[in-house]
Structures are given as C-alpha cells and as structure tokens.
Structure 1
Amino acid sequence: MTVLKETEPSVFAACDEPGLTPPYVEADLLFLSDLLTDEEHRLYLKARDFLQRQVRPVAVDFWNRAEFPFELIPSLARQQLTGMNRRGPLLAGLIQMEFARADTSVSTFFGVHDELFTTAIQELGSEEQRRTILPDLLALRKIGAFALTEPLHGSDISREMETSATRSGDAWILNGHKRWIGNATFADFVLVWARDTADGQIKGFIVEKGTPGFRAEAINNKISVRIIQNANITLDNVRIPFSNWLPGTSTFQDANSLLLHSRVWVSWQAVGQQFAAFDVARAYAMQRKQFGKPIASFQLIQEQLARMVSNATMSLSLMIQLARLRGTGRLTMDHAALAKSSCTANMRKTVALGRSIVGGNGISTDFEMAKIFADAEAIYSYEGSYEINSLLVGRAVTGISAFA
C-alpha cells in the first residue's frame, strides 16, 4: 500500500473556494491494513469508496440544515454492511472507521442501528423476534434505536434508572423518560431499557413506532452530529405485548455486554475522525498559498500534520490489537475503556491541529473542518465520557474503584 498517495486528483482549485471535497490519502504508515485478507481488503476498499463518494460530499449540507439524508438509506443498504462483525472484528472496525471518516452523524446512525439494536436482537432476542424482525433490520428496511440514557442519569444509569416496566397480564406497561436517543424520531423499533418493578432488575423491551403513549421529540440546537436525529422520549403508560421483552435481558449486565462492543465501535469512530481531519488539513495545506508558496512547505505546518497522522496511527494500532482480542474472546470492558479514553483524547488533539491549519476558514463548515471539529465533541462524550472511561482504567490498574 503506497503511503500518502492521493486517491483522486485534488478538487481544491483554490482553498478560498468553499464547498469542495478534498481527496483522502493512504495514511496507513505502518501498512496495518495488510493484516486483511485479499477478500477483506476488497470489501474494505469498496465500502470506503462508497462512503467517500456518496456520503461525504453531501454531509456538510445536511449537517448545516440538521436534516437526515433518508435518500442515502437504499444505496447504503445495497452495500450490505450490516452485521459486518460476523465477517471479522478487524474488517468491521476498519469499515466503522471509514464511516466516521466520511461523516460522524451517518456513522452514528448506522452504529446505533447495527451495533446496538440489531446486535441486541441477534444476541438477546427470542427466536420469534429474530425470525420476524432481523431480516428487515439487516436489509435496512426497518430502523432501530437504543434508549438507555435518561434526562437525569447517564454515567450512573445502571444504579439510578427511573424508567419502569410493570408486568400486567400478557403485557408490560412502560413509564419514564429517555434522552439523547439517536434515530428515535423515525425508528421503526426502539429498544427501551427499564427497571422491572417486580424484581428491580433492568431489562430490554421493544417498542414499535406508533405505540400509544410513546412520544419522541427531536433535540434541536446541537453543535455536534447535527445530522443524527437525537430525541427526548416520553413513555406514558406504554402498553406492549409480553413477547416484546428481550428474553436474554434479565439484569443490567446484559445491556453492558452490548455497551462493551459499542464502546469499541465509538473508539473506531475516534480514529476515523482523526483521519478525516488529516485528509482535510493536508489537502488544504497543499493548495493554500501564503508568501508565494503552499503552506505545506512551512516547517510548522509539516510538524502539525506529522502530529496529526502520528496520533491517528497510534490510535489505529491500539484498535487493531482490540480487534485481535475480540476475535479471540479476550476483550473486556477495561480494554474498551482504555480504547475509548485514549483514542478520544488523541482525537481532540488531532482535530484541534486540523482546525488550526485551516486557519480562519476552519471555523466555517464550507471548508468541512468545522464540522469535523464539532462532531469530535460528541464522540468524546457519548458511550461513556472520557472521565468515566479513565476511571474504569484506573480501577483496572489499581484494584480500587473511585466511583462513589
């Protein structure tokens, strides 16, 4: 694989002209993608090409309008990227990275649907649920959402969850509120986590779109991942069939098994975000001229680009080792917490460098970097904040929990 080879000619005729998408480059300095088989590499390149050509060019416009590009779903479905983890954790991770490299919001939409909801049905659902729901989920004919966080509870959700589920004959009655639920405004199914009033344990329940008492309202005025439709959810005596309970969920540990893998997915996002920032910063620096020559020829710019690709490469190397651990069944929440905290810390530094290289134009979404810079803040916070994940690592290395 050629290092730093542009995949197509630069389309930045002049870097004062907004709205143009720069090329991406092969920035795999350690040839880590050589770990893929020929078939895996073919699938990886096919996915990357689709995401760069179909998703990235439209992302800024939809981000500015805070609208979801529903017209992308059919073409995304044709790529057959759902259930990718069954083809191997490294291939799945690299494709997750490329999703975020193209756009974080679309990456989040897909991850919530595939990594969280669809995986929950596959691993924790009943045979009937898998038979009736999975085919449409895998084909993206139906979309799922994952409702865990509440308005007053995020990091402490396992201890303090207030949403309740009460058995009533052959039904469940759900009451409570959820917040920051991606896809929830248009999802066909929402997996709601609630505390069973009978035994006090947290379990998962499928709520279908249009169920009386279920209301999802979009959260507006976000400065990050503006394409993804996050929602506040209200559950007011929502009655669902008893069979809508996921039988594989009996305690919060069952939800935690899903969060382990989603935390890894978000860490891959953090790597993709760094390569996105590098792509834009490098293309800009190659074309932007000051004092009669491209700013890429200046020592300070080259040092900043070197730091960006170094951060991204170190993060990628860590994630490849996590893929190995997942493939051999040795992956733990401590590993996932290490990845989430370290990759997102590197990501923050990398996108800040990229925004600096693009200068004043770096605060305008017309030059893409401002979107990348802002979207990094969501990755830094969701699926366990940096602080919470750092404390999980601290507990692992000391044997002492710093949680109250």
Structure 2
Amino acid sequence: MRESIRSAATATLHLLLGAVVSLLCYLMVGVVLFTAVLSLTVIGAGVLPESVLLLRRLADWERRLTAARSGAPVPEAYLPLEGPLPERVRTAVADPSTLADLLWMAAKLLYGMVLLYAVMVLWAPALLVDGAWTGLLGRRPVLLPLIDRLADLSAAWSRTLLTPGPAAARDAVLAARVEQLTATRAGAVAAHGAELRRIERDLHDGAQARLVALSMRIGLARRAYAADPEAALRLLDDAQDQAEQALAELRHVVRGIHPPILTDRGLTGAVRALAAGSGLEVTVTADTLEPAHPGPDAMGAPDAPDTPSAVVARAPAAVEAAAYFAVAEALTNAAKHSGATRASVLLARTPTGLRAAVRDEGRGGAEAAEGAGSGLLGLRRRVAALDGTVRLTSPVGGPTVIEVELPCVW
C-alpha cells in the first residue's frame, strides 16, 4: 500500500508539473496570436523568430518531463534560427517542427489540465477503497495504480506529439551537417592558410637565405678566380656547403608538406621513425595498416604475391598524412611541455577508418596549453578537414592521451 501511495504521489507530481506547462501554453496562445498580428507588419516580423524560440523552450521543458517519467529521451529536430532576420523568419515558418509544437501546445491545453483534475478527484476514493481493499481483504490496490496510468498516458501523448516526423528529422540532420561542414571548411581554410605562411616563412628564412649566400659565394669566386685561384677554391667550397644546407632546408620544408617517409615506409614505419627521434622512450603498437614491402625470405626468395601482408589495403594518403602529423604534434608537445620521459603510440584499424592514440606520462593540463601555441588547435583543424575527430584527456597530474579517429575506406 505504501509503495502504491508513493508511486501515485510521484505520478501526481508529474501531472502537476504538466498542468503548469498547460497554464504556460495558455499564455503562449496569446503570444502566438499577438505575433501573428504583428507579423503582418515589417516591424513585427522580428518578433516571430523569438516567439518560435520561446515555444521551443516550452516544448523542451515538456520533453524533459516526459523523459523523466518514461526513462527515455524525447528526440527533437529543429532547424537553427540563425543569420539575418529574413532568413530567420523563413526558417521559423518553414520548419516542420514549428507546426508540430503548435499542435502539441493546443493538445496540451486540454489533456494537461483534464488529467490533473481526474487525478485530484481520484485520490480520495483511491485512499478509501484501496485502504479497505488491502486492509480487510489483503488484496492489491486497484485505484491508486490508475493514477500511474494517467501519468503514463500523459507522457505517451506528449512523446507522440513532440517526436519529430521523418521530414523534420531529415531537415534537421541536413541543417546540422551543413553547419558542421561550414565550421569544418572554415577550420580547413584557416589551417591551410597557416600552413602556407609556415612554408613561406621556412623558405624565406631558410632555403632562400642559403641560396642568396650561395649566389654571393659563386660571384665572389668568379671574380677572384683570375687573381687568386686558391681564394676562389675556398669560396667554391663555401658555396658547396651553402648548397648542401639549402638542400637540407628544402627537404625540411618538403617533409612538412608530405613526408616522403610515408611513401617509402608507410604509416607504421614513419611513426616508428618519429618515435626514434622524439627524445622520449616511446613504445609503438601498430595494427597491420599497410602491406609489407616484398623482400627475400629465409631462403633468399622473394615473398609470394598472395601472402596476407601483400594484400592489406593502405589508408588514403591524406589520412596517413593527417595521422602522421597528429602523432608528430603529440610527441613534440610531450617532449616540450609535459615533462614526460615515456610515451606510447597506438595505431589501429577500425571498422570505419583509422585510429591513432598517443599517451604520455607527464604532468597533464594540455588543454590549458592549447592557446599557448601547443599546436592542438591546428591538429583539430587538420583532422576536422577529413571529417575526423580528436579527443583529448589530460587531467592535472597526467597522463595525457590524444586520440584521433579518421574515417576512411580500407
């Protein structure tokens, strides 16, 4: 009996809060009518999007009440009300969810109050009848469970009315995807611009300076050749050194665009080379991400072309490059900022793409260092350009884990 009373009280509270929403719906009807009249004028058109947003908040409150009662969230699918005023007005009017919310509001005016009235009337006989029924006959309550059913009925009606239809859900998903792609494109453009500026700076400060010095040495050597051949020879030696340094600078710039080691060794070999030169004790664990290069076996014969290692597909070049630079950035940050001496790298194939994870045992707090030039923002933009995701876990005290998921077809 006590459990039935407690459950009925919870159901009554739900219906009471639903009745509050019904009262707000009454007020919202006045807002809707006022907005409809004002929308006929140019000045009043600006009220329409705000009224729709207010209606969405009211419907969202009902969704939370329904989810709390039923234990399952109620989906929503709204088009974003953004941009200039004419665009916001068109979106507010054209959004199928606006009409669905209006229908729910009209229905809530009725069932929200009616169900509460029914429950209030039911409480007194429920206590009397169920008290005698259980006290004298030892039977289960029969009227108190009806209060629970009325609350469940209210939640079911709200869920049916507020659940978006296929068209609304499709439009909302499309709008969210467009918004995501817009942000991704902006990030990709910013990352591309930063990369171009870096390349220009490296060429200007490195290779170009070396080539200018090389030209000067050759010019001086040509002038000194007739009068002092030994001095000319020394100048040519200096010019050769300058040429080698310029080539080294150019190789450094090229590696920043697309590392040749990726083509030569594949992602696993390239990451192992990164680990070896990182200055940390790095353990690399790699799934089979690319086919092994054919080589001689123990008897000196080349690998058979039909061995499993020769038919494993590699990830696309752009995906491999993004994973490579993500690992490089993570290891660089670990060596410079974390204070760690050990790190680990995991490369693995997933059903939808490629996963790369770097973990260091440093001091943590990497998120706070993002705005201080740690490169995490650039890393996110590079990965987002390929529709990938970056997850950073770095509590103070460590460890720091950076996980990159890149979609691709194997």
Shorter-chain TM-score bucket reads under 0.3
**Greater helix proportion:** 2
**TM-score scaled by length of structure 2:** 0.22
Structure having greater relative contact order (Cα 8 Å, sep ≥ 6): 1
**TM-score scaled by length of structure 1:** 0.22
User: If you compute each CA radius of gyration, which structure gives the higher value, 1 or 2?
Assistant: 2
**Greater strand proportion:** 1
